[in-house]
Amino acid sequence: MLERTLRKDHTEITFILPADIPPGQVSVVGDFNNWQPGVHTLTPRKDGKRAVTVELPSEGAHSFRYLAAGDYWFNDENADGQDGPNSRLHT
């Protein structure tokens, strides 16, 4: 799931996943962090889900995927679309 918060000069995107699906550590990896795993790792929230918030420039498009333990890559079904094998979102 993706939550968007519009700010004056940027958009905050919160990437949200269930607590244990998939199991283990998960990070969001995309063109906004040079596809570097571990830069934006999802952490537990009080509601039992995991999340991480990333600040992105407003009025842009970004490609991303999730990377879970065991080199398991997957997309977000709530993304704005696909960009080849990647999820795509618009800010």
Domains defined along the chain, listed by start? 2-79 (2.60.40.10)
pLDDT digits (tens, 9 = 90+) for 71-81: 999 999 999 99
Please calculate the CA angle 20-62-72 and round it to the nearest 5 degrees: 30
Dihedral angle sign, alpha carbons of residues 27, 29, 67, 76: positive
Task: State the burial class of residue 87 (Cβ atoms within 10 Å of its Cβ: 0-12, 13-18, 19+).
Answer: buried
pLDDT tier for residue 59 given thresholds of 50, 70 and 90: confident
Q: Could you tell me the CA-to-CA distances from 49 to 1, 19, 39, 44 in Å, in that order?
A: 10, 4, 19, 6
Residues contacting residue 21 through CB under 8 Å, at least 6 positions apart: none
Q: What percent of the chain has pLDDT over 90?
A: 91
Question: What is the pTM assigned to this prediction?
Answer: 0.93
